[in-house]
Amino acid sequence: MKNIKIVPFLALALFLAPACEKDLELNPSQSLSTGEALSDVAALKTALNGAYDGLQALGYYGRGFLVLPETEANLAYLSIANSNRYVASYTYQWTTANGDVTNVWDNGYTAILRANNVINNVDAVPGDAAEKNQVKGEALAIRALVHFDLVRFFAKQYTNGNPSTDLGVPIILTAGIGEPARNTVAEVYAQVVADLTAAKALLRNNGAYRFSPEAAEALLARVYLYKGDWANAEAAASTLIGDSQYALADNVSAMFGGPGSSEEILTLKNEASENRGSDNLGNIYIPAGYGDIRVTDDLRNLYEAGDSRATLIFKHTNDQYYNGKYMEQDGVVGLASPKLIRLAEMYLIRAEARFRQTKTVDALADINTLRTKRGATALMSFANGFTDILHERQRELAFEGHTAFDYWRTNTDMVRNQCGTSVQVSAPCTMSATSNLTVHPIPQTEIDVNQNMVQNEGY
């Protein structure tokens, strides 16, 4: 009976059906569920690395957030032949859809989420208390850093507005999708100070590439300065200046040859394996890369002969001047580990805080400690008042992401003395410190989805 042949076929079909239903429950091979990913201290340490990685995003400390405060000011100019990066920031043609601005917002809150998931899960997992404290402290400090960066970027400066009513940015302390409204500038600063103070108590020093209690203190010094809390700024800066583990570098060129200088309090370490190629930080500045953003006479004229910091600027064969702070690291062109906080800034913070408290002699001493170390002559007095301190900050911290903020928070109008030449893109030659354009627009993408979000004035 030939018909028997049907039996194996039917058997095949009938046995196959139930056998493969379990195949519908498949799981990915590269990812874990959130519960599994945050289940113990080791897992949280991994998640904390993810938060540091969030800080390194291209739109944040990878490049954007360090470059924008320079292209918006007068120490750098945008070459007329350029790769079309940062044009809006140099010309102040902001739109609410601006990619650089949107990236700061998006990358910032992504890092905050990563930090929050660590902070809010660490207490519940088993593990060594000291280890847990360290993990939590670093995450708190990262959360504070990002909130501080967002508020100074998207809101009026604390010292140049009404912080108790000016809108800051939403404070985000837990994971989840919502439509949060903007907290006031004062509320954001209060959260930043609270997080940093808590972090300081939990942390121990693990080197300059991660948040230490010293790094939290140093960031507090900067936050107090931005708040105009001169006494606390001076005190915090003094703690760092008095700390024997830090010393001003003997050689600025060597300091900018790579990470690991004695000055560094917090450095975001980039490994050679994190090479972004043409998008490495330095490549926006140097001829081997895009070389779009070049050094103005405004900055070059600030240096006197013998000032070692002038050697960080180099002249190229096309007779243009370029920034040499981020030439290469580990043999990778343009790769850099940005020094987020270094000791020189503490001297400058203390000098400014003392100057504002009319402790002029002490302030002058701080400035001269730094100048002498850099091979410049000591100042006899603040002949030009606060401008002398501002210029010293520019000599020292140019291209490190401070310049525009320094103008706005001190209510100083920004003037581009080198303006309208044939080598640079046409752009405004002055910018009032009270202009709406000094406050960045809230990204359109956020306005579109968040009913509680209020746009900044003028956009």
In the complex, least distance from residue 400 CB atom to another protein, rounded to whole angstroms: 21
Which residue in the set 250, 330, 413, 448 belongs to the binding site for another protein (CB under 8 A)?
448
The DSSP secondary-structure symbol of 323 reads: E
Q: Which stretch binds another protein (CB under 8 A): 2-10, 125-133, 184-192, 366-374?
A: 2-10
Give the DSSP letter string of 203-225. Answer: -----TTS--HHHHHHHHHHHHH
In the complex, least distance from residue 87 CB atom to another protein, rounded to whole angstroms: 7
Give the separation between CA 101 and CA 147, rounded to whole angstroms: 15
Please, which of residues 194-253 interact with another protein by CB under 8 A? 209-210
**Are 328 and 289 spatial neighbours (Cβ–Cβ below 8 Å)?**
no
Which residue in the set 59, 168, 401, 443 belongs to the binding site for another protein (CB under 8 A)?
443
Question: Residues in contact with another protein, total (CB under 8 A)?
Answer: 102
Question: How many Cβ atoms are within 10 Å of 25's Cβ, its own excluded?
Answer: 6
Asked if 37 interacts with another protein (CB under 8 A), we say yes
Asked if 330 interacts with another protein (CB under 8 A), we say no
Q: Report the residue number, 1 or 383, with the smaller CB distance to another protein.
A: 1
- Cα–Cα separations (whole angstroms), residue 287 to 157, 342, 424, 455: 35, 27, 15, 38
Which residue in the set 71, 110, 157, 329 belongs to the binding site for another protein (CB under 8 A)?
110
Give the DSSP letter string of 219-275. Answer: HHHHHHHHHT-HHHHHHHHHHHHT-TT----S-HHHHTTSS--TTEEEE----GGG-
Asked if 257 interacts with another protein (CB under 8 A), we say no
Angle between helices 64-71 and 99-122 (to 10 degrees): 140
- The CA-based angle 402-406-410, given to 5 degrees, is 165
Please, which of residues 305-324 interact with another protein by CB under 8 A? 316-318
Q: Report the residue number, 6 or 305, with the smaller CB distance to another protein.
A: 6
Please, which of residues 341-380 interact with another protein by CB under 8 A? none
Please, which of residues 52-81 interact with another protein by CB under 8 A? 52-54, 56, 80-81
Q: Report the residue number, 261 or 424, with the smaller CB distance to another protein.
A: 424
Which residue in the set 190, 365, 419, 423 belongs to the binding site for another protein (CB under 8 A)?
423
Which residue in the set 257, 306, 385, 420 belongs to the binding site for another protein (CB under 8 A)?
420
- The CA-based angle 292-268-31, given to 5 degrees, is 105
In the complex, least distance from residue 188 CB atom to another protein, rounded to whole angstroms: 13
- Cα–Cα separations (whole angstroms), residue 258 to 54, 160, 325, 340: 21, 36, 9, 13
**Are 143 and 116 spatial neighbours (Cβ–Cβ below 8 Å)?**
yes
Binding mask 152-191 for another protein (x = CB under 8 A): ------------------x-x--xxxxxx-----------
Considering only the C-alpha atoms of the chain, give the largest distance between any 2 of them, rounded to a whole number of Å.
116
